[in-house]
Each structure stands twice: as C-alpha cells, then as structure tokens.
Structure 1
Amino acid sequence: MRNKLVVLVIVVASCFAYTKLMARVGPGSPPPDAPLEQRADLIRVYKSERRMVLLRGDAPISTYRISLGTAADAGPKQREGDEKTPEGRYEIDWRNPKSMAYLSLHISYPNPDDRRNAEAGGFPAGGDIMIHGLPNGWGLFGNVHHLWDWTDGCVAVTNAEMRDIWARVPTHTPIEIMP
C-alpha cells in the first residue's frame, strides 16, 4: 500500500511540474488573420448546450463544442472564485498568444454591472475570463476535454479550434453568453 502511495505522489508531482513548465513555454506563433469575409462579427455562446457559434451578419460561419467553468450550470458568474462562466454581452478586448492555455482571447468580464453586483455582496468580481485552448502541453486530450466542465469560468475548445477562432475573431468582436 505504501509503494502505491509513493507512486501516486510521484505521478501527481510530475503532472504538476509538467503543467507548470509547459505554462511558461507558450504555444508558439498564432495563426494569421483569416480573410475579411471569413471573420466573425459576433460570438454567441450557449452555455446549456455547450456550444459556441461564430457569426457574420446573421449567418453562422463556425460552431464549436465547448467546456465551461466547473459551476457553469449554477447560473452567471457572480464573484471571483465561483467557477461560473459569465452571462451577458461583452467583447473580446485583448489577445494573449503566450498564455498558460493554448492561445487566449480575453472576454471583457467584469462589466460595470458585474462589478457593482459583486461589490454589493462584499466580493471582488474576478476577471481573466477567456476563450482558450487546452493547457499548454495537454493538447493530446483534444476532443475528450469537452466531456466535462473543467475551467475556472472560461470557454475552452481544442487547440486546433482555437487556432481557427484566433484567426476569425478580431479584437473588439462582441460576445453574447446565453444561459
């Protein structure tokens, strides 16, 4: 029994160290921008369906299966650390090609209403809500990542999908996150 515990501790420590190392490495170069006619002018996230759609005008141009915050089904994000994915209208306000997850697009949460509501409850609103790929170095989990919600409130896709999204979603693209 003791040997199994030692092996388990070594495996967990190795996974932790691997994740920390890969988080510092980053994914390399982001893809170039897609042609204008292939770029989205709206992102719509359907939390209950675990689906994200890129739209140009009223026409969907891409759809993705997603993972959300571990408490995503418990309603909209209310404060830092609640592991919920926000709901409402935001925008992609900056990009990070060297994030701890494969590429990331920052969602402008919290907005002024989110801040007021969190502060009224005596909590910080939180932030760093992103659309991102898998944690760096864990891309091999590809399509199985969507079998459960595992983020702290972000919207996660596969690395290949994140490259496509990065190329199609300019900064300041609005995003609607629906229940």
Structure 2
Amino acid sequence: MSLIRMTLAVLALAMLSACGDSKFRSYDGPEVTRVVVFKTERVVQLMHRDTVLKRYGMGLGFAPQGHKRFEGDGRTPEGHYYIDRRNPNSNYHLSIGISYPNVVDRAQADALGLSPGGNIFIHGVGKNVDRKTAKGDWTAGCIAVQDREMEEIYAMVRDGTPITIYP
C-alpha cells in the first residue's frame, strides 16, 4: 500500500510543478482601460486611465511605415480599434485580436479594388520564428512582443478594450 501512496504523491508533485510553466497567467491589478501603441518608438503601453501599467518593446509588420492599406502590404494599421478576440492556441504563443479592418479601412481598400486584409493581432513569437528575426519588424502587419510579455498582456487585457495605434 505504501508504494501506491508514494507513486500518487510523486504524480501529484509532478503535476503541481508542471503548473508553474503554464502560459496562462492571472492578473488582479488595476483594469487596463486602453492599449496605446507608438509605432515609431516601437512601444506598446497598457493603460489604466492616464497611468501606464506596463510598457513593452515590440516588432511590427515587415513594411512598418504608414497605415495598412491592403492585404499583403506588410504594414501595421494606425487608428482607433478595440480588442475583439483572443487565441490561446496561436502559432505565436498567445494572441489577442485587433478589430482591423473597420468601415473606413474597408472603403479605402475597396476604392483600390483590393482586400483590406485582416487577422491583425498582438502576439508573441512562438516556436516557429527565428529568435534573431523576432527582434526586428517581421510580421505580416501584427504587433509582436516576447512570449513572456504576451502572457502578461493576455492576462491583463480584456476583449472590448480600446486600442489606439499611432504612427
């Protein structure tokens, strides 16, 4: 009987130690009332009203200058959006979706006879990206942070949170 108890105790300890490596964190601090992105400075800020709660360096789309105009242009959008979804199974560790394209974005792309694209996220690096590449602007238009930082962002930012992306 003691062998069974010892085996169960070892299994329980193994399960508890595995919990420490979870990419899902909890957060019980002040509410993130908005996300502010400064493309030129390569900074993402999580705000509670006028107070910066967290600040992260970031990478952008592979052609970072200017507002995203159409699918495949490699640009990151600029303007006012909101966080509209989350993906716990992202290829890029974790991700939260940005509500691009909005009505204006669609109309501008339509005027060019092109698709505005979509699936713009704040995401981590994940396992499929070379770590050296991940230090620059490498995404298709998303905002990329390091995986541990993405875990914090994922825990802190709720769906519906406004995000403003400045040039």
State the TM-score bracket (shorter-chain normalisation). 0.7 to 0.9
Structure 2 equivalent of residue 41 of structure 1? 33
Instruction: State the AA in 2 paired with 1:98.
Output: N
Q: How many residues align?
A: 147
What is the alpha-carbon distance in structure 1 between the residues aligned to residue 131 and residue 71 of structure 2? Answer: 27
Distance, in Å, in 1 between the alignment partners of 2:152 and 2:161 is 15
TM-score, normalised relative to structure 1: 0.77
Relative to structure 1, the CA distance from residue 96 to residue 29 in structure 2 (aligned partners, 3 Å threshold; closer, same or farther) is farther
**What SS does the corresponding residue of 1:162 show, helix, strand or coil?**
helix
Structure 2 Cα separation of the partners of residues 29 and 111 of structure 1: 34
Q: How does 1:1-179 map to 2 (within 5 A)?
A: 30-35=23-28, 37-73=29-65, 75-138=66-129, 141=131, 145-146=134-135, 148-179=136-167
Matched residue SS, 1:85? coil
SS at match of 2:110: helix
Report the Cα offset of residue 33 of structure 1.
3.7
Identity across aligned pairs (percent)? 42
Distance of 1:92 and 1:154 partners within structure 2:
13
Give structure 1 regions of 4+ aligned residues with deviation exceeding 4 angstroms: none
SS of residue in 1 equivalent to 2:40: helix
**Deviations along 1:140-159, whole A, 9 cap, x unmatched?**
828x733x200000000000
Aligned partner of 2:120: which letter? I
Unaligned runs of 5+ in 1: 1-27
CA distance in 1, matches of 2:64, 2:122: 14
Secondary structure in structure 2 of the residue aligned to 1:165:
helix
The equivalent of 1:16 in structure 2 is: none
Higher helix share: 1
**TM-score scaled by structure 2?**
0.83
Deviation at 1:45, TM superposition (A): 0.3
Unaligned 5+ segments in structure 2 are 1-20
SS in 1 for 2:37: strand
Query: Residue 25 of structure 2 contacts residue 152 of structure 2 at CA under 8 Å; is this kept in 1?
Result: no
Deviations 1:123-167 (A, max 9, x none): 0010000000003355x828x733x20000000000000001001
Retained in 2: the 8 A contact 1:97–1:103?
yes
